[in-house]
Amino acid sequence: MIPMVIEVVRIGQRIVRDDRVTTHIALVARAFGATTILMNEVNLEIKETLEKISDTWGGNFSIEFFDSWKPIIRKKKENGFKVVHLTMYGENINEIQSNLKKEENLLIVVGAEKVPREIFKFADYNVGIGCQPHSEISALAILLDRIQDGNQFNKIFLNAKRKIIPTKKGKNVVMNETRD
Ligand SMILES: C[S@@+](CC[C@H](N)C(=O)[O-])C[C@H]1O[C@@H](n2cnc3c(N)ncnc32)[C@H](O)[C@@H]1O
């Protein structure tokens, strides 16, 4: 079994410096099968970038903004989501991935700078993608892959303007004539 709904929360952002990283977090979340990203830095450019990507390449990925992380995480927990906090201090992914796969709905928390200490308590799982510091983008990608066993790459992104036909050499892109 793999989780049905996966959402991602990005907590904290060092303005300008983190814009590109946050955009990449959102791109990975979308391409690796999450349905939503929630962010506490209102950055309309990131939203526009993701909306353009979805318009061209399909799917219903949504971007939501929030002021304060606590009520968001509380509400998601009340609605049956298990909170997975990505941190190098957490339990090793190799040990915990089979438990994560049994959960129905997951809310994945990724930090920018140091995350508030309380998140460690709020989380149902604190998960380390190894215990060396690296990047929230790679941590998110590896977690999403481990919990979905690669099935995210078979997902169909509906209503796309363009669709790639995987090919050995060159580029094969099919245009959807029903889209303008
Ligand atoms: C700049 S790092 C901060 C590293 C931080 N000391 C920590 O707790 O992981 C920003 C984010 O990257 C993610 N991250 C970095 N290395 C990780 C690892 N080995 N395992 C899981 N997440 C990691 C975490 O979500 C962290 O909040």
pLDDT in tens, 36-88: 999 987 678 899 999 999 999 999 999 999 999 999 999 999 999 999 999 99
Instruction: Kindly state the DSSP code that residue 163 receives in the 8-state scheme.
Output: E
Distance, CA of 24 to CA of 46 (rounded, Å): 9
Percent of the chain with pLDDT over 70: 96
**How many alpha carbons fall within 13 Å on the CB side of residue 110?**
29
Q: Identify which of 14, 86, 91 to mutate to test ligand 1's pocket (most ligand atoms within 8 A of the CB).
A: 86
Confidence (pLDDT) at 118: 95
CATH architecture under which domain 5-175 falls: 3-Layer(aba) Sandwich (3.40)
User: How many other CB atoms are found less than 10 A from the CB of residue 175?
Assistant: 10
Confidence (pLDDT) at 178: 87
- What pTM, to 2 d.p., does this model score? 0.94
pLDDT in tens, 107-161: 999 998 788 999 999 999 999 999 999 999 999 999 999 999 999 999 999 999 9
Collapsing DSSP to helix, strand or coil, 92 comes out as: strand
Report how far ligand 1's centroid is from the alpha carbon of 15 (Å): 18
Contacts of 130 (CB under 8 A, 6+ apart): 88, 92, 93
Q: Which residues lie with the beta carbon below 6 Å from any ligand 1 atom? A: 86-89, 110-112, 115, 128-130, 132-134, 136, 139
Query: How do the domains of the chain map onto residue ranges?
Result: 5-175
